[in-house]
Each structure stands twice: as structure tokens, then as C-alpha cells.
Chains A and B, each alone.
Chain A
Amino acid sequence: MTNSLYLVKPEIVVTIVLVCIITFNLIFKDKPQALPWLSVIGLMITSYFVVEQFSYNSFAFASTDYKGLLVTDPFGAFFKILIVLSSVIVILFSISNKELDSAADRLGEYYSLIFGMILGMFFMVSAADLILIYLSVELLSLSSYVLAGFTKNTLRNSEASLKYVIYGGVSSGIMLFGISIVYGLTGTTNLYEINSLIQAPQINQITLLFAGILIFTGIGFKISVAPFHFWTPDVYEGAPVTITAYLSVASKAAGFALLIRFIKVTFIKSINAEGYWQVINVIDWKSFFILISIITMTLGNFAALWQNNMKRLLAYSSIAHAGYIMLGLVVMSNEGILAIIIYFTVYAIMNLGAFFIVMLIANKIGSEELDDYKGLGYSTPVLGISLAIFLISLTGLPPTAGFIAKLYLFIALVDAKMIGVAIIALLNTVVSLYYYIRVLKNMYLDKPGKEIPKFSASIPNLVLLIALVAPIIFFGIYFSPVVNLAKSSLTLFGF
């Protein structure tokens, strides 16, 4: 048992940093400005151990009669790296977020709760046991409920956290009920054991179908796909913008990693010669996911058309992106997973960038309404052009990295002979162009109601901004590093 400890080094480091932050905050109460740097250093050490995990491929804490609670493999390591990177970026955003000023005396809680989320997400991406899945989802949720309402003095903040806690509590409760049924059917909660047990003919298929859908409810809530997306716009709009960015990238990435592992480990019977997964015929996951992803992206894109708040618009856009990403899972092959990994790498950068600019503009003009963005393209050229690049990338137009992400997704769909689905996704991209361009139209073509003085971001923020814009342009032209990284992180344990 103890010789597995080297497989959970990143989680151990995260826990230690979490304790360090709390202790530091207790001892040096008057130095909250050191907390983000302490967190960033902690995350750097974590990333070192996560990179180490690319070479591992095994169960952790397995004994003779029980397969392990969690697995360490390159697939999990990729998502951990993604989570660490987005955490670093979000922590750097938090330094200059004005919304947090009203809670300046509680910043220690803020950073320690972020580490609570990171710990939950780390366990989520490597969980191989239904109970660990439930525990890690709850660990992630409990921290994010509090963070969504962190600056609790504003109305929309408290409302966001209430809606989040109610929707989250219900969906994780429903997931637990589904887990209990699977436990009753198979007598185990380990995904690998369940996989071999549900292939037996005496399993009641309807009960298993019911349980599978109940478990999907909990995961679907985390990745905010329809019909479990109702919380997304409200929570994204109400939460502090740094937390919104974090929820839309890291928490969604962890949810997708969990979903892919859950489906691939539990319900795949074999992999045929062309590399497509043969699903155990209990649940037709393929049609189910096609339906869900088409509804999700269509709903997200059309609802975004008449949003006037930037955060709300980006919330609906992130729902639509969850729909696109799900198409990678619909393919049910390694090519689809490759597309998902490429998509997430790009999506993380562009979405964080877009939220960063929304935050910088809100810091200056104190508003996220689209009407207040009129003429901003001229009064703040740097932020305007960067936002334009991020939005074009979110649409998926060349020469940005967003195009590459969508390209690989569509190639995977066409290779799997799902042309119809690909066309629907393409039409959805056209719809999404309208609302992204509407932001740019407001910024560049509309006359502002009142004169806005010229402004720009501070030097550190500009450096951070360039660090986010550069990869979007660079990977749009020269994308083989991303593809190679994705190819090296395709290995799931057991396949």
C-alpha cells in the first residue's frame, strides 16, 4: 500500500501547499499580497511532479483482492497539467481583480479554497472508483460553491452561490443514487471490475441504463451540457470573474476527463481494427451523446445571440463549446480523444484570455454590459485587439488556434462517417460568429454615448496578456507541438 505513495505526489504537494497557505495567512495576517506568489510557487512544484507522471501507467493503492482507487496515466497527467496551468493563470488574474478588494481580509481563504478545488480536480481526473468519483466531485463542488459567492456583499454574488449549491447538491445526490444502484447490481464500485461484471447476461439492462443516466447527471452538471446547464449563465455572471474563468476552464476540463474515463473504462467491450470502441450494448451511449451534444451547442449558441452581459455571453459560449467538445467523445475512438485534448489546450488559453480582458475592462469602466463596450476599441487599442483575437479564435476562424481545434474535431467526425453531425456543428459555428462579431461591432463601429478616456493595462498584466495571445496566434500557424503533446497523452490505463 505505502509503496504507491509516489504515484500521488502531486496530490500530496497540493495538500501541503493548502496547509501552508492557511498557516501563512494565520501567522502573517498583514501580508496577503504574498499569498498568490506562495500559491504559484506551490503550483510550480506540483507541475514538476505531474510531468513525472507522464511516464507512469498503473493503479495506485491496489491490493491483492482489490484494484486501485485511482490510476496514474499520461491521460490524467495531461489534464492535471492543464488544471495546474489554468490555476496559475487564474491566480495571476486574481492579483489585479478589483472585485476581490472588498474581501481583502479574507484572501487567505480565497487561495486555500482554490487549492481545495485543485485537489478535487486532481482526484477527479485519476479516479477509477465510483466512490472516489463522488468524493472528488464533492470536494471540487464544496470549494467552488463558496468561491462563487466569495465577495458575498453583492446581490448577484450571493445569488450565484445559492443557485450553484442547490443545483450542485441535487445533481450530486442523484449521481450518488445512481452509484448505489450500480453497486447493488455488481457488488463493486471499481470501474474496471464493473466493466467485466456488466458484460454478464444476468445483469438487468434497464436498471443499468437508469443508473448510467443518473451518474451522467452528476458529471453533466460539472461540464454544463444540456439539460443540466441551467446554473451556468447565472453562476458565471454572478461569481467573481476570476472564478468564472476558472469554472469554465479547469472544472470543465476535470469533468470531461472524468466522463471520458468513466465511459471508456466502464462501457467499452473491445476496440475494433479501425480503432473504434465497441460499447457494451446496455446503453447506446453514442446516440445519447450525439443528441446531448447537438442540443447543447445549438442551445448555447442561440441563447448567446441576445445576451447583453459579456460574462453571460461567454457563459453561453462555454456551454456551446462543451457541446463541440462532446462531439469528440461521440466519435468513440482515440482520434476523438485526440481532438478533445487539442480542443481543451486551445480552449483553455482563449477562454481564460477572453475572461481576463473582460476583467481588465471591468476594472476600469466598472461594467460588463455590451452597451458600455461601445467605442472601447479606440480608447484601449491593446485590449481591443487582444479581445478580437480571442473572440475570432473562439469562433474557430483561421489563422488562430481555435481553427486548428475545430479542424481536428471535424476531421475526427468525418473519418467516423458522421457527416450529418459535422454539418450541424459547422452551422452552429456560423451562428456563433454572429454574437462574437457583435462584441467587436460594439467596440469598433458603434459611437460611445460619452467620451471614454484612453486607458491600458499595467505592465505585468500586459505581459500576461501577451503570454496568452501569443500561443493563440502561434499555434494557429505552427500547431504540431500541440498535436504531439496530445498524441503522447492518449494512453488511458488498461488500454
Chain B
Amino acid sequence: MAQVGLNHFLVISSILFCFGIFGIITRKNAVMVLMGIELILNSANINFIAFARYGSFGFQGQLIALFVIVLAAAEAAVALAIVLNIYKTFSNVNVDEIDNLKE
């Protein structure tokens, strides 16, 4: 059986990143768009941890991943509060129906 190496992790993280971008572009529901953002952040996290583990750079990469997890949670909290507020005013959360501000 093949050894799991750095490349496997990098492939996974690239796929996650592409899924995230794909979700952001195609999904209409604001909550789904936010999930796409989470996928991007997690793909970066996988990169950090894989590089720290296989590049023998010390623990810095894993520390960064912890920072990012905390920030992702904070960002999700703020973003969900804003989405909740949108739901109260527009009674839906479809990003392409919220278009009052256009010339």
C-alpha cells in the first residue's frame, strides 16, 4: 500500500479549495455561500498542518491552524448574525434577490 505523503494532503486541500470557490459561485443561499468560505479556510488549514508535519518546520504551522479555527468561528458568528438580520428585513436569504443597491 502506498504511503500517505504530503502530496495526498495537498491534493485534498486543493480539491476542498475548488469546492469552496465552486460553492460560493453557484449557491444562491447566503448560508451555503458562508459554508463555501469555511471550506476555503479549512483547505488552508490542511495545507498549514501538512506542511508543518512533512516539511519539519516546527510547530508554527499547527499554531497557525489553531488561530485560523478561532477566526473562522468568529467570522461565522458575525456572518450568521448578519444573515439573520437579512432574513428579518427581506424574509429570504438568497444572495441574488438582495439587489436593492444597483444603479
Contact A180 B34 (CB under 8 A): no
Residue in A closest to B54 when the chains form the complex, CB atoms: A184
Contact A138 B100 (CB under 8 A): no
Residues of B within 8 A of A237 (CB): 101
Contact A176 B83 (CB under 8 A): no
Residue in B closest to A316 when the chains form the complex, CB atoms: B103
**Cβ 8 A contact of A155, one of B37, B47, B61, B100:** B100
Tell me what chain A mostly uses at the interface: helix, strand, loop, or mixed.
helix
Residue in A closest to B50 when the chains form the complex, CB atoms: A184
Range, interface on chain A: 35 or more
Contact B30 A183 (CB under 8 A): no
Number of interface residues of B (CB under 8 A): 45
Residues of A within 8 A of B17 (CB): 177
Residue in A closest to B20 when the chains form the complex, CB atoms: A173
Q: With A158-B86, A162-B95, A176-B44 as given contacts, are A146 and B75 in contact (CB-CB < 8 Å)?
A: no
Residues of A within 8 A of B57 (CB): 183, 187-188
Residues of B within 8 A of A177 (CB): 17, 40, 43-44, 47
B22 near A: Cβ within 8 Å? no
1/0 contact string of A15-35 vs chain B (CB within 8 Å): 000000000000000000000
Residues of B within 8 A of A142 (CB): 74-75, 78
B5 near A: Cβ within 8 Å? no
Tell me what chain B mostly uses at the interface: helix, strand, loop, or mixed.
helix
Q: Which of B3-30 contact A (CB under 8 A)?
A: 13, 17, 20, 24, 30
Q: With A156-B100, A159-B86 as given contacts, are A131 and B67 in contact (CB-CB < 8 Å)?
A: yes
Most buried by A among B30, B45, B85: B85
Q: With A131-B67, A159-B100 as given contacts, are A173 and B82 in contact (CB-CB < 8 Å)?
A: no
Kindly state the separation between the CA atoms of A131 and B41 in the bound complex, as whole angstroms. Answer: 13
Residues of A within 8 A of B79 (CB): 145, 165-166, 169
Q: With A138-B71, A183-B61, A189-B64 as given contacts, are A173 and B47 in contact (CB-CB < 8 Å)?
A: no
User: Chain A: residues with CB nearer than 8 A to chain B?
Assistant: 131, 134-135, 138, 141-142, 145-146, 149, 152-153, 155-156, 158-163, 165-166, 169-170, 173-174, 176-177, 179-181, 183-184, 187-189, 233-234, 237-238, 306-308, 312
User: Chain B: residues with CB nearer than 8 A to chain A?
Assistant: 13, 17, 20, 24, 30, 33-34, 36-37, 40-41, 43-45, 47-48, 50-51, 55, 57, 60-61, 64, 67-68, 71, 74-75, 78-79, 81-83, 85-86, 88-90, 95, 98-103
- What are some 24 contacts across the A-B interface (CB < 8 A)? A131-B67, A142-B75, A142-B78, A145-B78, A145-B79, A149-B85, A156-B100, A158-B82, A158-B88, A159-B90, A159-B100, A163-B101, A165-B79, A166-B24, A166-B95, A170-B24, A173-B41, A176-B44, A183-B51, A183-B60, A187-B55, A187-B57, A237-B101, A312-B103
